[in-house]
């Protein structure tokens, strides 16, 4: 069974597909480069042709939800996929494993942002040597700051979770010997 970490790697491969022109255009429009950061694309088809055992596993991870949509065969089950046709970013735990995903479904009339769960920190837990910590209001803001290459040695950035400072953020901050915290405004 694939972990979220392994699934995210397949989503990173998805953004590099020649068929992923619209996701690439969207990233370009918001100024992010998938070649320099961990960004993926969920087409919503990762469960197609998978066994029921694998679909059940994806459902337990929160990536699939049973749907009432019509299917061509009554023996089949319809599913709604998390982040379907969306750009996806990984959130990490202390050990560097992907434990959560953040998706932007950009093709909707109003782009929709969603988290898979409440775990993890984007882009990762700050290294213990961090002296100056930037707290960004969103994952896109944090990714933009990282891509700007304006962070210096011993600087780190973390993104709030849907605008909120959660317990994992507080624990990560308290574990550091910081000289400065910079809170970026939305």
Domain extent, residue 86, equals 4-115
pLDDT in tens, 30-54: 999 999 999 999 987 887 778 889 8
Task: Summarize the confidence of residues 54-74 as an average pLDDT.
Answer: 82
**Domain shared by 58 and 137, yes or no:** no
Q: According to the model, what pLDDT value does residue 75 have? A: 64
Please check whether residue 121 lies inside any domain of the structure. Answer: no
Q: In total, how many domains does the chain have?
A: 2
If asked whether residues 52 and 91 sit together in one domain, one would say: yes
Predicted confidence (pLDDT) per residue in 111-160, tens digit: 899 999 999 999 999 999 999 999 999 999 999 999 999 999 999 999 99
End-to-end CA distance of the chain: 39
CATH of the domain at 65: 3.90.980.10
148 & 100 share domain: no
10 and 57 fall within a common domain = yes
**Are 40 and 82 members of one domain?**
yes
pLDDT at residue 1, as a whole number: 76
> What is the pLDDT, as a whole number, of residue 139?
97
Asked if residue 164 has pLDDT above 80, the reply is yes
What pLDDT shows up at residue 71? 67
Q: Which residue has the higher pLDDT, 74 or 174?
A: 174
Regarding whether 150 and 102 lie in a shared domain, the answer is no
Burial of 46 (0-12, 13-18, 19+ CB in 10 A): buried
Q: Are the beta carbons of 31 and 48 closer than 8 angstroms?
A: no
Give how far Cα 101 sits from Cα of 28, 67, 73, 124, Å.
Answer: 21, 21, 31, 12
With contact defined as beta carbons under 8 Å apart, do 9 and 46 qualify? Answer: no
| 77, pLDDT greater than 80 | no
Q: Do 104 and 163 fall within a single domain?
A: no
Domain contains 124: no
Q: What is the pLDDT of residue 74?
A: 65
């Amino acid at each position: 069974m694939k972990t979220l970490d392994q699934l995210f790697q397949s989503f990173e491969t998805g953004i590099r597909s020649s068929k992923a022109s619209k996701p690439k255009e969207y990233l370009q429009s918001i100024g992010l480069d998938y070649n320099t950061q961990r960004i993926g694309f969920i087409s919503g088809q990762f469960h197609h042709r998978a066994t029921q055992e694998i679909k059940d596993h994806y459902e337990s991870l929160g990536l699939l939800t049973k749907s009432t949509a019509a299917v061509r065969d009554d023996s089949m089950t319809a599913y709604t996929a998390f982040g379907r046709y969306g750009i996806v970013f990984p959130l990490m735990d202390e050990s560097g494993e992907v434990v959560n995903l953040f998706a932007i479904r950009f093709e909707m009339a109003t782009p929709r942002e969603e988290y898979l769960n409440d775990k993890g920190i984007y882009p990762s837990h700050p290294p213990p040597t961090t002296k100056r910590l930037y707290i960004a209001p969103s994952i896109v803001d944090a990714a933009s700051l990282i891509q700007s290459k304006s962070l210096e040695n011993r600087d780190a950035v973390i993104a709030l979770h849907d605008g909120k400072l959660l317990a994992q953020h507080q624990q990560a901050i308290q574990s550091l010997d910081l000289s400065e915290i910079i809170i970026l405004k939305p």
